[in-house]
Amino acid sequence: MMENEEVDTEALKKDADFLANLQRLETEMKAENSIAKGYQVLDAKLVIEAEEDDINEVFTFIVNSAFDKLSDYLTEPRKFDMAEPEDWATVRAIYEHAIQRYSENDKKGAKEIFLVLHHMVIVDELKDAMMIHACAVMAGHSFEEFVENLADVDGIDPEDP
């Protein structure tokens, strides 16, 4: 698909093949307990503007599965390997949850999750980023201050996974 090409969401909502593939992917997501497939399902449901309950159900699956996997990794012990799609998706879900907590001013919860991620990922650059997040929370910065003053949003490469 071309970068500027619009997605015809109304056509997708009626496309039997697309809907069947989406249903198959959702079934696989649940059967395999796949967070990566959960994000694919979530993205597709957001594009077709699915019912809010359907979207929330997939999002809840992603978050619950991510924290279940975190719990398993903590007891094994094992760290998240960002080269593995499932680990990458798991870290993404946990990070997004931490950001949500931070944006809702739950600084204690956000700090704890950022610190857990700092200790659970293998990639040093990501470990350091999680510590910066945790330090910003501990220093009392609001989420808005963090984004406006501390986050390097200019340096983001949208093509970098």
Per DSSP, 149 falls in state I
Do residues 113 and 74 touch, judged by C-beta distance below 8 A? no
Using alpha carbons only, give the angle 73, 74, 79 rounded to the nearest 5 degrees: 55
Q: What token pair was written down for 39?
A: 């994000």
Backbone angles phi, psi at 80, to 5 degrees: -80, 125
- Looking at residue 97, what is its pLDDT? 96
- Looking at residue 45, what is its pLDDT? 93
Rounded distance between C-alpha atoms, residue 86 and residue 140, angstroms: 33
- Looking at residue 1, what is its pLDDT? 42
Half-sphere exposure of 46 (CA within 13 A, CB side): 9
- Looking at residue 144, what is its pLDDT? 80
- Looking at residue 155, what is its pLDDT? 66
Altogether, the residues listed in the chain come to a count of 161
Q: What is the mean pLDDT of each run of 10 residues along the chain (161 residues)?
A: 58 86 95 96 91 94 97 95 95 96 94 96 92 91 78 66 53
